[in-house]
Amino acid sequence: MNSHPPILTIDGPSGSGKGTLAKLIAERLGWNLLDSGALYRVVGLIAKRQGVSEHAPAQLAEIARRMPLSFDAEGRALLDGEDVSLEIRSETAGNLASKVAALPEVRRALLDWQRDYVRPPGLVADGRDMGSVVFPDAEIKVFLTASAEERANRRYKQLIEKGLDVNLADLTADIRERDERDRTRKVAPLVAPAAALELDSTSMSIEQVVEQVLERVAETFPDLL
């Protein structure tokens, strides 16, 4: 018998569609959702605001342990009541997040935060090391990828729609650089966990990806859907 509520992890690089997939699956199952990237992004944001260097692990870990962060019912990130959801989505915040995320002290400080999300009826957890490090006992593990070009294209379209002035070549270079940092870092590098359902979304629609994940859910929990 499992002693914890069911957990479904979704890991993969930036822009693979993990966030959208996690949200859709959590809605469909009625489970809680953990966007672990948001935690790293908020640590980066606080560090920037307080002028703490990305090379000060002890101070950054302290920020991670004490940050007055909560999420409202719509998933908005509230920092001491201030809605920072838009600010943490910027490219700069993403890059900063990836830098603080390379520090073991910060990752350790965020473990309790993340494990606290395991509540009935179940959890969908989105990140880089959800299935490999944070929730190794998860019943279902998904690893979602897409080519760097496709991921940069998707991001480009999103940003252009928002009216932002961006350059596709810069975005592609940023994505490659962040991938490289996430994959080669010493702690919790981005890897497909053992027994993960590996999906390459380069030429799949989000509906097709959702369908495949739900098939795995139905096999694992026949009474759920």
Q: Which residues in this chain contact ligand C5P in the complex, by CB under 6 A? A: 14, 36-37, 40-41, 94, 97-98, 101, 127-129, 178, 182
Shortest distance (Å) from residue 186 CB to ligand C5P: 12
Report the residue number, 92 or 218, with the smaller CB distance to ligand C5P: 92
Nearest residue (CB) to ligand C5P, 24 versus 97? 97
CA-based nearest residue to 212, from 222, 203, 199, 196: 199
Nearer to ligand C5P, 105 or 129 (CB): 129
Give the nearer residue to ligand C5P in terms of CB position, either 6 or 9. Answer: 9
| Edge-to-edge order in the sheet of strand 7-11 | 32-35, 123-127, 7-11, 140-145, 197-200
SS3 71: strand
Which residues, 6 or more positions from 145, have their beta carbon under 8 angstroms from its beta carbon?
12, 13, 16, 198, 199, 200, 201, 202
- C-beta of 49: minimal distance to ligand C5P in Å? 17
Q: State the greatest distance between any 2 C-alpha atoms of the chain, in Å, as a whole number.
A: 53
Least Cβ distance, residue 190 to ligand C5P (angstroms)? 8
- 121's CB contacts (< 8 A; 6+ apart) are 5, 6, 29, 30, 31
Residue number closest to ligand C5P, CB atom: 37
Minimum CB distance to ligand C5P, residue 37 (Å)? 2
- CA count, 13 A, side-chain hemisphere, 120: 2
Task: Say whether 155 sits in a helix, a strand or coil.
Answer: helix
Distance CA 56, CA 73 (A): 33
CB closer to ligand C5P, 134 vs 217: 134
Q: In angstroms, give the least distance from the CB of 117 to ligand C5P.
A: 12
Whose Cβ is closer to ligand C5P: residue 180's or residue 215's?
180
Least Cβ distance, residue 68 to ligand C5P (angstroms) = 20
